[in-house]
Amino acid sequence: MSTDLTVLPEDNTEYGTQEYWQKRYAQEPDGVFDWFKTYRDLQPLFDKHISDRSSRIVMLGCGNSTLSGDMYDAGYESIVNIDYSDIVIGQMRERTAHQPKMTWEVMDVTDMKFDNGSIDVALDKGTLDALMCEKGDVWEPSEELCERVRGEVDEVVRVLAPGGKFIWITFGQPHFRKRHLVRDCWDVQVETLNDGGFDYFVYICAKRA
């Protein structure tokens, strides 16, 4: 995990901007940063909710996390990783050249270039959290924030196949996060991961046929 303080934003709202991430990845070409949890922590969750290792998975806002590579080694080889930073996508293509079935694409999570119903599992580990960084009242998020989040979630709904799952790993508690996931096409299931007294939350949305 990178500990270089020069890449930290002056203001947390920068986490929601493409400019910040381009600058950060350019400054840490060999960096690795895992938000929240690693595959080792999440393996029981994935074993439970992604039973078919041949599932087509999209990693939303992949960054330079180790998650995709570790999942690949565990047998999840059909992973397409997307990020709107062309810098990090180039870095990760080189870094994972030994894992050829996995692909890396420059893409915005709010405007994905996948066909309708073509994805089995959409994974988000911290990307929506970055989009939700803003100043103001967390109980009353701005319409701009809600629109950004809606852009990703609606795209996930579109690209998921019937029976497909959206899995969001976050530190955000249900009374702050669940409201953004309400859709007619799925029910929201919440699981908690405890880490020494600090809770992480996993939201699982299975799209109905």
Q: How many CB atoms lie within 10 A of CB 63?
A: 26
169, 89, 175, 160: which is closest to 129 by C-alpha?
A: 169
**Cα(84)–Cα(113) distance, rounded to whole angstroms?**
12
Tell me the pairing of strands 119-125 and 57-60. parallel
Q: How many CB atoms lie within 10 A of CB 208?
A: 10
Instruction: Quote the domain boundaries for residue 150.
Output: 5-207
pTM for the whole structure: 0.88
pLDDT tens-digit profile, the chain (209 residues): 344 445 666 656 677 787 878 888 888 878 787 877 899 999 999 999 999 999 999 999 999 999 999 999 999 999 999 999 999 999 999 999 999 999 999 999 999 999 999 999 999 998 998 888 766 677 788 888 899 899 999 999 999 999 999 999 998 899 999 999 999 999 999 999 887 778 899 999 999 98
**CATH code, 201:** 3.40.50.150
How many separate domains does the chain show? 1
Q: Which residue type sits at 42?
A: L
**Cα(39)–Cα(152) distance, rounded to whole angstroms?**
23
